Amino acid sequence: MGNELTGTAHFGKRKLAGRALLETSELLFRPSDGSPRVKIPFSAIKSAKAIDGQLRLQTADGPVSFDLGANAEKWCHKILHPKSRTEKLGLKADVAISLLGNFDPEFRQELLATTKNIHNEINPASEIIFLLATSTKELAAGINKTAKAIKGATALWIVYPKAKKEITESDVLSTGRKSGLKDVKVVGISPTHTALKFVLPLDKR
């Protein structure tokens, strides 16, 4: 899931193998040798070019490049022309949404700019359900309510904080799958939160 690739990164004269992850508003690199993770926010990128399979970035901290092969052009385009959060989440005009949890005002305003058909409880007509879970306890309680409400092609986005021991990606994946749902997409919706999309398997619709 997501835009994740194995490759080599060049930080000045330093060369590291690892995995690069392109999220909504930042690029992450996890070195294979256990070195600290590198995070490059799009806002810190002064220029981006794709040359001979290499993604070359000029950042506030200096030049960085990644050997990505045929994917270099694609990643460069996404950095220079990032999709909005609502586009990544598949929102369309007037789509019916159920919003469950204490989402931040900025996110709510972005949703309202696309659709006014938003409900703060589970609505049977909703095509998309957003569930915010900040702990495994909240996740379990939320899944018990939402999984039963999912019918047809309804999408459930579980939103959870990054790098918190109270809830991890593994917790979200296992809970969703145990509820009979299939994970199909992951989106980093902010520097602090990730969203995992779940749907009913085709044979259960």
Show the domains of the chain with their CATH numbers.
3-82 (2.30.29.30), 86-204 (3.40.50.150)
pTM above the 0.85 mark?
A: no
CA 159 from centre of chain: 9
Instruction: Convert the pLDDT of each residue in 41-69 to its tens digit.
Output: 898 999 999 999 999 999 988 999 999 99
Instruction: Convert the pLDDT of each residue in 69-116 to its tens digit.
Output: 999 999 999 999 888 888 889 898 999 999 999 999 999 999 999 999
E strand segments, the chain: 3-11, 14-22, 26-31, 38-41, 45-51, 54-59, 62-67, 97-100, 118-119, 128-132, 155-161, 182-188, 193-199
